[in-house]
Amino acid sequence: MKIKFKELRKNIYIFATEKTIGFTLISIFLGLVVGAIFLVAAGFNPFQAYWIMLLGIFSKPSYISYTIIRATPLILTGLSIAFAFKTGLFNIGAEGQFIIGSVAATATGYFLHLPLLIHIPVVIISAVIAAGVWGGIAGYFKAKFGVHEVISTIMLNWIALYFQNFLIYTKGFQKPGGETSYSIQPTANMMILKTWKQSEAGREWLLQHPFWKDLLRTPMNWGFIIAILMAILVWFVLNKTALGYRLRAVGFNKFAAEYGGINVNKNIIISMFIAGALAGLAGALQVVGVSHKVTLIAAMEGYGFDGIAVALIANSNALGCILAGLLFGALKYGGTKIQMFPVKAPSEVINIVIGSIVFFISIPKLIKVILSRKNKKGGTK
Amino acid sequence: MIDTILSNIALIIGTTLMYSTPLIYTSLGGVLSENSGVINIGLEGMMIIGAFAGAAIGYFVGDPWIAFIGAGIVGGLFGLLHAFACVTFGANQVVSGIAINFLGAGIALFLSRMLFEGATMTKSIALDNKMPRPLNGVFHDGSFLNIIFNNQYATVYLAFIMVFLIWFFMYKTKYGLRLRSVGEHPTAADTLGINVIKIRYLAVIMSGVFSGFGGAAMSLAIVSNFRPTLVSGHGFIALAAMIFGKWKPQGALLACLLFGGAQGLAVFLGQFDFEISSQLISMLPYVITIVVLIGFVGKSAAPSADGIPYEREQKN
């Protein structure tokens, strides 16, 4: 019995230190422990808080749907940053690229009048291109003038933010009497069964089917499916194509890549274009699927910054971004539940949990030290 | 005519000083950390927790200097956390910094809700308990110097003194030389008997202290409370200023002044009834920064060992 226990410990040690997923899971667990410590210190019951959070994520179809809707843009901004990381660039600009994507989507969604099946692709593609160019600008500055992409993307974020606010105050785009734009045309709408939901027959049917009624209460849309497809595509491009090979080579060692005949500057621009396009897609999907318009923003909304954490938790793995994005969406959406009755704890504890997870992910050594000490103790007994 | 031009120039200089100050402190923090070889992308989080600590201590204690120092200490604790990860455990420094940003914002808002009846905005500090304005009323009303200095808080002057002190420390003292040698070539420094670990710890803790000062320079002087949108990205701008200033205190100062100056220009232009939208004018500081960066020939280079954890080789 004792020997088996020792085996188990050894297995945990190997799982936690030699497999990335195991290490990530332990970091997530430790992050939740830190959050619990804060809750206890502030006089709350952490078990109750986490239980309410869990119920708030899974107990109703609409909750699950909201979680997925929250996760969708984060998966994509996470992909954007993970992609840039893989190619040796740090894209802090996902925030601004997201804004450009959502502005472009709103503009093409409102001003263009196109048939149903054509409008959505046109909106999404134009948003992706606009945001890709926005990201590509930072790549161009780096390639051509040696401007550090961290600085240029931080500046471009703010320029994008004020650009969106400028457009919202522009006649023809601003909805009179509000600090928002006009809503996109119905043909550009990607919400599932939106018109049917509000029709007489739809409401009648939904009354008799509570499961579907609850589920369709949410702005459910195709965005999540698109995000998953994009993650697979990014994984494929990075790992199975010549382009991906070149981009990774530049990220791995710029000088070696150059020596090997790869045009480093061109690849920096391409990489930032793709990173921008991914973040822009997040913005576009948010508009066509959920918000249908853009509103005045006073400060950064955080899609890009949360995306950095998603990419880090996913260890910059494209497919990992799906899971990390879902975790993030669940924490963010579930976190709002603990603010309400009966727990009434500050929902900001979620940011503490997320910060702690990322912190533990940054120090694999610490976890190794803790676990190996336990192992040694187990060995001497 | 000349009078109006002069007073407008004075106004722009005044707003420049006001906007630059928090950035100067925070970018000095970045300079210290990165010259010791530790990337600090967590400046934003340290600034946020400093702004909160300054506002909260200022509200409860009532003394701006105790609040300012308290903000520095709290920021320093976050620096300690970053140092613990980066120096002792060889963390990926960018990842740890991002974690600090989440923790700073999360803990500040969590504590704010606990201490201020569930609000994410702290209660305002009484006007008498804000930072003093040393040159208030010294110059003639409406004179050039009066417009510049009348409403400047003590934190503004202190920021310039700090830049000088850090510059002197880094380039004129042996401890500064040690700091830089640890950031350039830790192995060589270690061979010469310099304690790499200790110096990096101190530098990163001080970077937290300065970022805390930067945050408090906002919440104790420019405004009189903390709110979630107060810092919103200034830590990142300070980071950019530090890179732009080529990792040197005097360079960072100039970069912060450039940014603050563009901000001052935006405020100045904003008072006119232009056809241009105020939103477009608000873009100006960011556009100017990029334009200047492009014009700047010669790449900026970080200290050689910046971002690389230092590990002593194992004795055989």
Full-prediction pTM beyond 0.95? no
Nearest CA to B270 out of B259, B261, B280, B257 is that of: B280
In our burial notation (b when 16+ CB lie closer than 10 A, e otherwise), range B105-139 reads bbbbbbbbbbebeeebebbebeeebbbebebeeee
The position carrying tokens 């604790």 is B77
Are A362 and B96 inside 8 Å of each other by CB?
yes
pLDDT computed for residue B316 by the predictor: 43
Nearest CA in chain B to A358: B99
pLDDT given for residue A379 in this prediction: 44
B26-45 pLDDT tens trace: 999 999 999 999 999 999 99
Category of B58 on φ-ψ map: left (φ > 0), alpha (ψ -120 to 50) or beta: alpha
CA distances to A39, A93, A154, B135 from A90, in Å: 34, 9, 11, 44
* Distances, alpha carbon B305 to alpha carbons A253, B2, B82, B179, B239, in Å: 17, 52, 17, 12, 18
Q: Is the residue at B306 inside a domain?
A: no
Per the CB < 8 A criterion, the answer to whether A151 and B243 are in contact is yes
Per the CB < 8 Å rule, is A146 touching B96? no
The residue assigned the tokens 């408090």 is B216
pLDDT of residue B313: 65
Q: What is the pLDDT of residue B289?
A: 83
Domain count, chain B: 1
At which residue do the structure tokens 């990205």 appear? B233
- List chain A residues with CB under 8 Å of B113: 346, 348
By residue count, chain B amounts to: 316
- Contact of B161 with chain A, judged by CB distance below 8 Å, is answered with no
Q: Is B191 on the interface with A (CB under 8 A)?
A: no
CB-CB neighbours of B62 under 10 Å = 13
Q: Do A352 and B102 touch (CB under 8 A)?
A: yes
- Residue B305 in any domain: the answer is no
**Which residues 79-108 of B are in CB contact (within 8 Å) with A?**
81, 85, 89-96, 98-107
Instruction: List chain A residues with CB under 8 Å of B240.
Output: 150-151, 154-155
Residue B138 pLDDT: 84
CATH number at residue B30: 1.10.3470
CB-facing half-sphere around the CA of A361: CA atoms within 13 A: 28
Which tokens go with A131? Answer: 């945001």
B308 is a domain residue = no
pLDDT digit string (tens) for A162-215? Answer: 999 999 988 888 988 888 999 999 888 888 887 788 788 888 888 888 888 888
Whole-number percent of chain B with pLDDT over 90:
63
Interface touch A152/B299, C-beta < 8 Å = no
Residue-level pLDDT at A381: 36
Cβ contacts of A37 on chain B, cutoff 8 Å: none
Q: Name which of B85, B105, B229 is nearest A363 (Cβ-Cβ).
A: B85
User: Is B300 contained in some domain?
Assistant: no
Q: In tens digits, what is the pLDDT along chain A, a chain of 381 residues? A: 455 666 766 766 666 565 678 888 989 999 999 999 999 999 999 999 999 999 999 999 999 999 999 999 999 999 999 999 999 899 999 999 999 999 999 999 999 999 988 999 999 999 999 999 999 999 999 999 888 888 899 999 999 999 999 999 888 889 888 889 999 998 888 888 877 887 888 888 888 888 888 888 888 889 999 999 999 999 999 999 999 999 999 888 888 888 888 899 999 999 999 999 999 999 999 999 999 999 998 888 889 999 999 999 998 999 999 999 999 999 999 999 998 888 889 999 999 999 999 999 988 888 777 777 665 554 443
The rounded mean pLDDT for chain B is 90
Q: Is residue B72 part of a domain?
A: yes
**A-interface mutation test, from B78, B82, B95, B107, most A Cβ less than 10 A away:** B95
What are the phi and psi torsion angles at A174 (to 5°)? Answer: -75, 135
3-class state of residue A221 by DSSP: strand
* Domain of B281, in residue numbers: 2-295
CB contact under 8 A, A299 and B243: no
| Record: contact A351-B105, CB cut-off 8 A | yes
Q: Which two tokens stand for residue A217?
A: 């209460």
Structural domain includes residue B142:
yes
Q: Is B313 within the bounds of a domain?
A: no
Could you say which DSSP state residue A174 is in?
B
> How far, in Å, CA of A109 to CA of A39, rounded?
44
Q: Which residue of B has its CA nearest to A312?
A: B95
Closest to B294 (Cβ–Cβ): which among A141, A156, A354?
Answer: A141
* Range 116-145 of B in CB contact (< 8 A) with A: 118, 120
Q: Is residue B88 part of a domain?
A: yes
Per DSSP, the residues of B189-216 read HHHTT--HHHHHHHHHHHHHHHHHHHHH
Low-confidence ranges of chain B (pLDDT < 70): 273-275, 296-300, 313-316
- DSSP assignments along B256-303, one per residue: HHHHHHHHHHHHHHHTS--SS-HHHHHHHHHHHHHHHHHH--S-----
Q: What per-residue confidence (pLDDT) applies to B59? A: 95
